[in-house]
Structure 1
Amino acid sequence: MFGKLYLIPVDLGHPSFEALFPTLNREITSTLTHFVVENQKSARRSLKLIFPEIKQGELSLLTLDKNTSELDLNPALDWLKSGKNVGVVSEAGVPSIADPGSLMVKLAHAQNIEVIPLIGPCSIFLALSASGLSGQSFVFHGYIPIDKAEKTRFIKEMEKATGRNQAQIFMETPYRNNQMLEDLLSVCKEDTLLCIACDLTLPNQYIKTQTIGKWKKLKTEDLHKRPCIFILGN
């Protein structure tokens, strides 16, 4: 009998397991010794937070990042085919959502291996649910272009899509967040809505939705090096 593939969410920076996760996550994680992880160092830290008694020396970790190929994941498929349950762990949040873990999940389905997602925080959906923007129709773009001309064109395309009541969700490398806000304020129309959601689940969490016109008048938070989700809507 094949093992099961568990998708194990991790924190977004909050130090308390009990504040964010159901006890079932700890119960399941405590039974696993084989993991597919985006980053081995951060995965060991996250697993320690979930299950403090975990024996690090007994763990088998296989890296799955943006450079990993399907062939590289054959050892994980072999684990599953031998009957071992395997956990997938991202660097932050939920595996497979804006995360390379989706490749492992796709390969598991191709082999008729059961995939079980566990409950945990996902910054994309936390931001959307708190934004007041469309939760019926939305697109997550990930990182948008860096080149100024391409970025301007992309922002205008996203803004146009909001006219169909479709929320446009995207992010930026944290050290470029302030520049991203400046670009949005200079490119978008006054009545376009913008949600900024940063440091989600943390004590200094900041979530605000205003029109571009109002954002221009506000004394905005310093977003530098803070994990942020941006959402455009109408």
Structure 2
Amino acid sequence: MNSFNTTGILYIIPTPIGNLSDITYRAVETLKNVNLIAAENIYHTNILLQHYNVKNILISLNKNNEKKQSHYVIKKLKEGKKIGLVSDAGTPVINDPGYFLVKQCRSLNIKIIPLPGPCAAITALSASGISTNRFCYEGFLPSKKKVRCDLLKSLKKETRTIIFYESKHRILQSIKDIIEKIDENRYLVIAREITKKWEYIYGAKANEMLFWLKEDKNHCNKGEIVIIIDGFKELKNKDVSEKAISTLKILRNVLSLKQSVLITSKIHEIKKNNLYQYAIKKEDK
């Protein structure tokens, strides 16, 4: 059992990711009752507080001043104050400021109470139709192409569902990179403007997704976007794609079975044994 050295408490308070109605009664009550609120953006948080008639003291705690402000917050916590931590939208610390503060509080044995609430990644995942029992969250895709492509390449064989955030400005290029570094036939879902008026959730193979985004500029002209990518699946025994079958047939016209299987397996990155067993079965017929 933890023994806390202060009566102060840091509350991690999730706020709506778009629809102001998506806040819990507990979150509103906590915002009213803490001694002060550390907000990523004071102006943005004030809109929420005014909507729920919450009057409280606000201080800024964002990525630019987090370390400095965290020292101030910890000082107040040591004095026994109760402080709420909020981000612009969703659950604080998840791809938002607050990690440094929470880490310091843990090291100083200051009590932290996290409240449950909105998170764009989880909300989108629940409606994606892609496996939810195992997933990895990778935050925003890197803005620099080489770094982004290196990351995507490293995740090509990731068997868990993969979740990214992306901006409207880079979504087309990122889908192109997914096609190139992961697989043009990998199924993915895009969720944009979750909980807002223009919300949409659309799923397709990567190459089809690129076409869909290009055919209507309204598909990617606003809001933050969640990309959910189906995990890599090992080919089951004798389960070979149509493209691999087509390549194998062409090569068999000029090469031996062994050479054809070897080259086809490298082109399509499938297990040589699976392809060989498939080829043997077909040629035996």
7, 21, 28: which one pairs with 1:2? 7
Contact 1:159 1:233 in 2 (8 A): no
When Rg is computed on C-alpha atoms for both structures, the one with the higher figure is 2
Aligned to 2:125: 128
The AA in structure 2 aligned to 1:201 is: T
User: How far did residue 202 of structure 1 move?
Assistant: 1.5
Give the deviation of 1:233 after TM superposition.
1.4
Q: Which residue matches 1:153?
A: 150
The corresponding residue for 1:184 is: 178
The answer (yes or no) to whether the contact 1:8–1:87 under 8 Å persists in 2 is yes
Q: Is the 8 A contact 2:190 2:202 kept in 1?
A: yes
Task: Report the TM-score when normalising by structure 1.
Answer: 0.83
Deviation at 1:214, TM superposition (A): 4.0
Cα separation, partners in 2 of 1:109 and 1:115, compared to 1, 3 Å: same
Higher relative contact order (CA 8 A, sep 6+): 1
Deviation at 1:88, TM superposition (A): 0.1
Computed over aligned residues only, the root mean square deviation of the Cα atoms, in angstroms, reads 2.3
Are 2:84 and 1:59 aligned? no
- Return the alpha-carbon distance in structure 2 between the equivalents of residues 225 and 203 of structure 1: 12
TM-superposed CA distance for 1:186, in Å, is 5.0
1:29 pairs with 2:28: no
Considering fraction of residues, name the structure with more helix: 2
Written as runs of structure 1 = structure 2, the 5 A alignment for 1:106-121 is: 106-121=103-118
Tell me which residue corresponds to 1:232.
229
- Does 1:42 find its partner at 2:47? no
How far apart are the structure 2 equivalents of 1:179 and 1:190? 14
Q: CA deviation at 1:196?
A: 0.5
Deviation at 1:86?
0.2
Letter in 1 for 2:39: V
Tell me how far apart the structure 2 counterparts of residues 60 and 154 of structure 1 sit (CA, whole Å): 38
Cα shift readout 1:173-214 (whole Å, capped 9, x = no counterpart) = 332223333443455423311110111112321112222254
Alpha-carbon distance in 1 for matches of 2:201, 2:79: 46
Alignment match, 1:84: 81
1:204 correspondence with 2:198: yes
Matching residue within 188, 197, 200 for 1:194: 188
Change (3 A) 1:216 1:103: closer
Q: CA deviation at 1:132?
A: 2.6
Would the aligned equivalents of 1:178 and 1:224 in 2 still touch at CA under 8 Å? no
Unaligned runs of 5+ in 1: none
Match of 2:168 among 171, 174, 197: 174
Give CA deviations for 1:30-51 in whole Å, capped at 9, x if unaligned.
11231222122212223323x3
Displacement of 1:6 in angstroms is 0.9
Return the alpha-carbon distance in structure 2 between the equivalents of residues 7 and 23 of structure 1: 15
Q: Confirm or deny: 8 A CA contact 1:177 1:223 kept in the other structure.
A: yes
Residue 71 of structure 2 corresponds to which residue in structure 1? 74
In 2, the alpha carbon distance for the partners of 1:122 and 1:207 equals 15
Q: 1:191–1:66: structure 2 CA closer, same or farther, 3 Å change rule?
A: same
**Structure 1 contact 39–91 (Cα < 8 Å) conserved:** yes
Post-superposition Cα deviations, 1:77-125, rounded to whole Å, max 9, x if no partner, equal: 1211112110001011111111121222222222222211223210011
